[in-house]
Chains A and B, each alone.
Chain A
Amino acid sequence: MLSYLLLALLVLTTVAYYAGLSRARAFATASGHAAQHSLSGYHGAFVAAWASLPSFLLVILWLLFQGSVVDQLLISSLPVERIKDLDSGQLNLLVSEIKSIAKGNVFGEPDAVVLAAAERYNSWNAIASWAMLASALGLAVVALVVARSYVAPRFRARNEVERIASVLMILCSLIAILTTVGIVGSLLYETLRFFSMVSPLEFFFGLNWEPQIAMRADQVTAGGAFGAIPVYVGTLLIALIAMLVATPIGLYSAIYLTEYASEGMRAVVKPLLEILAGIPTVVYGFFAVLTVAPAMRDLGAALGFSIAPNSALAAGGVMGIMLIPFISSLSDDALNAVPQSLRDGSLGLGATKGETIRNVLLPAALPGIMGGILLAVSRAIGETMIVVMAAGIIAALTLNPFEPVTTVTVQIVTLLIGDSEFDNPKTLAAFALGLVLFLATLALNVLALSIVRRYREQYD
């Protein structure tokens, strides 16, 4: 039904476009182009926009509210003696049963009341669909006729069309903004619920993280402790290791590519580096688990000290490899953006290539390079797949890179898989962790932007 409606609206829109166009053409040929404010195409677009957009809006609103309106009707139509003893959960169950019977999935032997209700539900939905079809098409036709009556030589169709387009653009950007606001809002709400069960003091300053608590009376677990410090320390340790790997390698390869590599070399190496950026993180993850971690453990054994199979070093090291292309391609852009005249100036004074890079190019490109590094840091903090596969789950408070540590993202994943209910601190802790992660990334991005802006003022 809906697809036929959309198809009909599309046809109507096309009709509307030609209706406006033909009317505009009629007076264009009659009075000559000079007297006409807008090109005929704008008149067509104006009529088409009015014929389609209000109807589309109506359909969207209708679809949003039809379900709950019909549900209300359904509940109020049920005999009072049948529902007066039910609480809201049981009522929902009854409504679901009616709906599934309406769809044709009959389980057991439903009573007559339920069967009748299912029949009513089906007929109401059919009525609602037809009503939507009729009202949407009716609205479209009326809008078409009214909009077409506006078409006149001096009518400013061009300005109107641009106004409609700008409203559409505002709507699109609003969707993105509202989604973000919604996510942050729900994170905040669930975090506040979490803090009503666990003290913020414990969460932010506690040194013990054991979130597994009993969800059923017969489960045997630890009491549950929500001190997030070990989780944050683990995250920072892995991010630090990753950056120690990625920053020098990325930066040096960028310098090589911009300043030393020949054209042919650059044409080969740069795409290869970009392929590195295209490898899915899950592939890095099993690379870390299956190759790097055992190799490190063997190396440790050969040197006489023990390296855990899921050490921070393995996870961080592989994450560092993943981040190389970020840093190298952003640094490469920043170095390339330094004007050739600065290179000439330095070389002309008798500086060697290395001195020119160290003393002129790197300082001038610093904002871009810092931006790339901070972007990589926020990627490192938020990266999930590699650490889920390669890092530990137990939150040990340690700075030793040979020990397993856990990260915020790993904890969020482990908290939310398996049995979960949204009214206990174990599950809600994930929202608190997520909120902190979000704020940290946000702070890093703001910092990156402010650094870039400050240096730009100084160097341009």
Chain B
Amino acid sequence: MQQLDAGSVQVLTSLKSSTAQTIGEPKIVARDVSVYYGEKQALFDVDVNVPRNSVMAFIGPSGCGKSTFLRCINRMNDTIPIARVEGKIAIDGQDIDDPELDVVELRARVGMVFQKPNPFPKSIYENVAYGPRIHGLARNKADLDRIVETSLQRAGLLKEVKDRLQEPGTGLSGGQQQRLCIARAIATSPDIILMDEPCSALDPIATARVEELIDELRQTLTIIIVTHSMQQAARVSQRTAFFHLGVLVEEDETSTIFTNPSDQRTQDYITGRFG
């Protein structure tokens, strides 16, 4: 009876604190993450849990640290010589800064899609085959063909490009290029995809296609999307985090953030008073 009580209390508190924990353990756990560019601190002690198989949106005014935090998750900040990251980030309980974990393996598991579509100057096929090739995911040509086809299929691009796989990827339209980049990221079978304003260079129709795609990918993947469009955050995400001046101000269910935020700054931002 005592035990049962304690158990139900625990369940209740966890229900209150976060619905994520009812789904299971969070996919990504970040604790006290700070980033410095030289002397300047760009991100201040960010704590966040990203639940698995869901979409989390990062919103906030320009320069608030959303992209900086996103780039910590696959250690892309390593490529910037003056950047320094402090704090801990764990994926499935494994510290990403663990010397046992090669950054190359990490990035194969954590795909990234950038603001501007950046297909390589290669054929459509080679663009998608790039990741599987460097990680040796395909045993033979037929295997590679299958990976390329499934990835394009999942990115919703296969129908449009089936007959011209050998044409350059740079010849596609902007929206197709972005979906090609998503296909390229999926091809290494990651379990997390980071998207840094993936639709900011796209027209509304292409944006709708990408948003549909994000919704489908959520079945099997954990997705974090940085966006300037609050409508987009509301449409695609289950949880939303609001960043301001390098601080994670508030993180909650998307519907809560947009209807009943607890912080004044969030309230001001989503009602358009600044940013």
Q: Which residues of A contact B (CB under 8 A)?
A: 262-263, 339, 341-352, 355, 359-360, 363-364, 458-460
Contact = CB atoms under 8 A, between A and B. Distances in A.
B185 A349 contact: yes
A interface SS class? helix
B204 interface: no
Nearest to B168: A458
B74 interface: yes
B121 interface: yes
B122 A363 contact: yes
Interface string B125-140: 0000011001100000
Nearest to A339: B118
A352 B76 CA distance: 12
The 4 A-B residue pairs with the shortest CB-CB distance, nearest first, are A350-B108, A348-B112, A350-B107, A341-B118
A355 B134 CA distance: 8
B114 A348 contact: yes
Nearest to A460: B170
A345 B188 contact: no
Nearest to A358: B134
Contacts of A348: 74, 76, 107, 111-112, 114, 185
Given A364-B121, A459-B168, A344 B79 contact: yes
Contacts of B168: 458-459
B130 A349 contact: yes
B105 interface: yes
Contacts of A352: 104, 134
Given A348-B107, A348-B114, A352-B134, 11 more contacts: A344-B76, A345-B114, A348-B74, A348-B112, A349-B107, A349-B131, A350-B131, A350-B134, A351-B131, A352-B104, A363-B122
A349 B76 contact: no
Contacts of A360: 120-121
Given A341-B114, A345-B181, A460-B170, A351 B134 contact: yes
B235 to A, nearest CB: 25
Residue with the greatest number of chain B CB neighbours at <10 A, chosen from A345, A347, A350, A363: A350
Interface residues of B, number: 28
Nearest to A363: B121
Contacts of B79: 343-344, 347
Contact of B105 (A262, A346, A350, A355): A350
Residue with the greatest number of chain B CB neighbours at <10 A, chosen from A339, A347, A364: A347
A351 B184 CA distance: 13
B140 to A, nearest CB: 20
Contact of B108 (A262, A339, A344, A349): A349
A379 to B, nearest CB: 28
A262 to B, nearest CB: 7
Contact of A345 (B106, B120, B170): B120
A341 B81 CA distance: 16
Nearest to B105: A350
Interface in B27-85: 74, 76, 79, 81
Contacts of A339: 118
25 contacts: A341-B114, A342-B118, A344-B114, A344-B118, A345-B114, A345-B118, A345-B120, A345-B181, A348-B74, A348-B111, A348-B112, A349-B108, A349-B112, A349-B184, A349-B185, A349-B188, A350-B105, A350-B131, A350-B188, A351-B130, A352-B134, A355-B134, A363-B120, A458-B121, A458-B170
B116 interface: yes
A311 B106 CA distance: 54
A343 B79 CA distance: 10
Nearest to A455: B121
A342 B74 contact: no
A346 B120 contact: yes
A337 to B, nearest CB: 12
A364 B181 CA distance: 17
A359 B184 CA distance: 15
Nearest to B82: A263
A347 B105 CA distance: 11
Contact of B104 (A343, A350, A364, A460): A350
Interface string B161-190: 000000010100000000001001100100
Interface string B97-116: 00000001111100110101
Contacts of A341: 114, 116, 118
Nearest to A262: B81
B84 to A, nearest CB: 16
Residue with the greatest number of chain A CB neighbours at <10 A, chosen from B74, B111, B112, B118: B118
A386 B264 CA distance: 76
Contacts of A460: 170
A350 B79 CA distance: 12
A72 B131 CA distance: 83
B211 to A, nearest CB: 21
Contacts of B122: 363
Contacts of A347: 76, 79, 107
A403 to B, nearest CB: 44
Nearest to A341: B118
Contacts of B120: 342, 345-346, 359-360, 363-364
Contacts of B74: 348
A364 B106 CA distance: 26
Residue with the greatest number of chain B CB neighbours at <10 A, chosen from A263, A345, A351, A458: A345
Contacts of A345: 112, 114, 118-120, 181, 184
A335 to B, nearest CB: 13
Nearest to A344: B114
